[in-house]
Structure 1
Amino acid sequence: MSHKKYCLACDLKEDSKLIEAYKELHKNVWPEVLKSIKDSGIENMEIYNIGNRLFMIIEVNASFSFDSKSKLDAKNPKVQEWESLMWQFQQKLPMAKECEKWLLLEEVFKL
């Protein structure tokens, strides 16, 4: 099975209490959200934090596409509830378009 890796970035609001609350929520991500992630073809997901910057790595199988994930998420009330909750902590990157949150990073070096 073909695997691909994507890296994305997002910012949190500059508030240490909100950042800690965000981290706490990610210790127990809702089961419906985890199922949705896996059902979309994402096989591994990691999120890292420094300051108010988030960095996500996803490893996906051949069935994954950002478009199909977006459509699945839009139809899932629990995922929409989770995303609304996350917007309380997250903010778009300065170069993001309206309603864009996680932005795909360009690979500039690989060893």
Structure 2
Amino acid sequence: MTVTRYGAISTLKPESKQKYIELHANAWPKVNEMIKKCNLQNYSIYQIDNTLFSYYEYTGDDYDADMAKMAADKTTQEWWDECIPCMKPLDGYGDEGVWTTMKEIYHLN
């Protein structure tokens, strides 16, 4: 099995930080199921102050198709409608949406 690792960074709006944390403390089961159906594993989000870092591993064969499948899911769309307004892009990186993908420069198994 091939594993591709992804890291991304974002920023929380200070007035929405607690809501975002609470949403993820009680993530919707159907959202978690869809993440797994789309071949993502070891998905984690870390937070310090208003900065978010996400990490996940992709194990599928067609990343774009799996991401399109996730984006088309009604429950996932509703989840994003709750989460995305709590966030803003990292300063200077607004072209990618609220999450800015990071380039992996080191990995050790």
Range of TM-score over shorter length: 0.7 to 0.9
Instruction: Give every structure 1 segment of 4 or more consecutive aligned residues whose post-TM-superposition deviation is greater than 4 Å.
Output: none
Q: Retained in 1: the 8 A contact 2:38–2:70?
A: no
Task: Kindly tell me the number of residue pairs found equivalent between the two proteins.
Answer: 107
1:33 pairs, out of 28, 31, 40, with: 31
What's the Cα RMSD here?
A: 1.8
2:17 pairs, out of 19, 23, 30, with: 19
Question: Within 5 A, what are the aligned runs for 1:1-111?
Answer: 1-15=1-15, 18-63=16-61, 65=63, 67-94=64-91, 95-97=93-95, 100-110=97-107
Gaps of 5+ in 2: none
| 2:10 alignment partner, SS class | strand
Give me the identity figure in percent: 29
Determine the C-alpha separation between the residues in 2 that align with 1:110 and 1:75. 32
Determine the C-alpha separation between the residues in 2 that align with 1:74 and 1:57. 18
Q: Retained in 1: the 8 A contact 2:10–2:98?
A: yes
